[in-house]
Amino acid sequence: MKVYNTMTRKKEEFKPINENRIKMFVCGPTVYDKSHIGHGRTYIAFDVIARYLKYKGYSLFYLQNITDIDDKIIKRANELGVEPLKLAKEFENRYIADMERLGVKNVNFYARAMEHLEEIIDQIQKLIDKGFAYETPTGVYFDESLFEDFGKLSNRNIEELNVHRVNPDPTKRNPGDFALWKKRNEEPAWDSTWGKGRPGWHIEDTAISETYFGGQFDIHGGGLDLIFPHHEAEIAQMESATGKKPMVKYWMHTGFLNVSGEKMSKSLGNFITINELLEDYDPQVFRFFVLSTHYRSPIDFSDEALKQSENSLKRIYKLIETIDELLEMNIDEENKNDDRYIKLLENTKKEFLDAMDNDFNTPIALSAIFNFIRDINKGINEENISKNVFKEIRILLNELGNILGLTFSVESRKEDSQDALINILVDVREKLRQNKNYQLADEIRSKLRDIDINLEDK
């Protein structure tokens, strides 16, 4: 099994630090707005990576942080006239609900920054004690000039970077020194050794990852846009604080998501939330669309591409429905062609797993499935497939679908549709409560209770 390492810019044989146990940290969202399809692309990719590692027999702990205090959150909260932490909690809940709908279900723990303030402060103090950080009237900063490997992930050096940098804060030693603690008098602010304030963005991640994983772990993931400065800052902080190198064995990054050839942004009017997407498309369609492109490659979102994904999924669904119908009919339990089809099943599985072993190459893995479907459809038309082989086909498709998080069984798709409908009712009821239409909200809860679904407000 080989994995592309952003640090070395090449594929490497995958060997966890601790034999069978894998620690994986992926940067989570800053929860100040609704989750968008760019989030969906990254977290679907790492969900499949998690699924495949588990399938291979590894014991995986998948940790994701939630940035629930940040200048963006405070600005948005002030605009809306709400408490920042309340706003953050609302969008965190929406984010997790969106991920559930997309089938992203393998994160073991979501660690909120505000629940790790003590660890954040401890790590900052450790960096001060070791001489890598210093205090000024505006905050505590990391002196990047003292970390000799700064820029090794993005392949940049400080001298080149400083040519283009302007120092907006004269209290800093160097233009690129980044904040570990921001001194603030206005709320929200928390007490620390250096006065009231709040943590910088980069320090949250390393304090959280050190808390659960120690100074070194196997996989660190995120979007390509996080390599610099975020992940460079993480490396500098963690390796300076712990003295352990490397902080991470394998750095993995997803490519950019564009919309019809352009970068997604609100100013261009092409910003698409996951909630908006799922009003028009089944979650499985978007998931298939994401997996049709290698996770490291850029991906271009368009209605045409979604329609193609939808049609591709229908080919799989159609085959499964046909097989289920044939299994109900009086056909031979076995016949002379069985060995040929069993060999086809084995070859398909091998091609699929070989693709996944090659840096989680989902497009090639999907190609193996569709080549298989073509051959099986041909066999059905020639009426030379036995009942036993059909059963093995169903087993294989379910197995490979589970690795990708794609639901190929009719029963599971019905359950997914029911879950989606319940989520819609819950969302509608919440909006009714916000608008103080308690009578209709209570009626929805009562109707849900009639079908053995108990909804509690906590």
Question: pLDDT-derived band of residue 185, with 50, 70 and 90 as boundaries?
Answer: confident
Question: pLDDT-derived band of residue 151, with 50, 70 and 90 as boundaries?
Answer: very high
In a domain, 262, yes or no: no
Do 7 and 145 belong together in one domain? Answer: yes
For residue 78, the tally of other CB atoms under 10 A from its CB is 12
Instruction: Please give the single-letter amino acid code of residue 47.
Output: D
Q: Mean pLDDT over residues 138-142, rounded? A: 97
Tell me the three-class secondary structure of 193-228, residue by residue. CCCCEEECHHHHHHHHHHHHHCCCEEEEEEEHHHHH
Do 232 and 318 belong together in one domain? Answer: no
Report pLDDT digits (tens) over 26-78. Answer: 999 999 999 999 999 999 999 999 999 999 999 999 999 999 999 999 999 99
Question: How many domains does the chain divide into?
Answer: 3
Q: How far apart are CA 91 and CA 82, in angstroms?
A: 13
State phi, psi for 228 to the nearest 5 degrees: -130, 130
Do 305 and 210 belong together in one domain? Answer: no
Do 245 and 301 belong together in one domain? Answer: no
Do 166 and 151 belong together in one domain? Answer: yes
CATH number at residue 38: 3.40.50.620
In a domain, 267, yes or no: no
Q: Is 170 left (phi over 0), alpha (psi -120 to 50) or beta?
A: alpha
Do 440 and 402 belong together in one domain? Answer: no
Average pLDDT along the chain: 93
Flag whether pLDDT at 279 surpasses 60: yes
Which strand ranges, in their side-by-side order, compose the sheet holding 59-66? 109-112, 59-66, 21-26, 217-223, 248-254
In a domain, 455, yes or no: no
Radius of gyration in angstroms for the set of CA atoms belonging to the chain, rounded to a whole number: 25
Q: What is the pLDDT of residue 163?
A: 55
Helix, strand, coil content of the chain in percent (nearest 5): 55, 15, 30
| Cβ–Cβ < 8 Å for 216, 17 | yes
Do 400 and 416 belong together in one domain? Answer: no
Per-residue DSSP letter, 229:
I
Helix (H, G, I), strand (E, B) or coil at 104: coil
In a domain, 157, yes or no: yes
| Cβ–Cβ < 8 Å for 227, 253 | yes
Q: Mean pLDDT over residues 82-98, rounded? A: 96
Do 312 and 434 belong together in one domain? Answer: no
Report pLDDT digits (tens) over 331-340. Answer: 889 999 999 9
Exposure letters 424-445 (e unless 16+ CB within 10 A, then b): ebeeebeebbeeeeeeebeebb
Do 367 and 438 belong together in one domain? Answer: no
In a domain, 260, yes or no: no
In a domain, 395, yes or no: yes
Q: Mean pLDDT over residues 304-325, rounded? A: 95
Domain of 437?
412-450
In a domain, 261, yes or no: no
State phi, psi for 214 to the nearest 5 degrees: 80, -165
Flag whether pLDDT at 417 surpasses 80: no
Q: Mean pLDDT over residues 151-174, rounded? A: 80
Helix (H) or strand (E) holding 335: none
Structure tokens at 287: 């998931």
Do 424 and 402 belong together in one domain? Answer: no
Q: What is the pLDDT of residue 41?
A: 98
Q: How far apart are CA 125 and CA 251, in angstroms?
A: 27
Q: What is the pLDDT of residue 268?
A: 78
Q: What is the pLDDT of residue 334?
A: 92
Do 327 and 393 belong together in one domain? Answer: yes
pTM summary value? 0.88
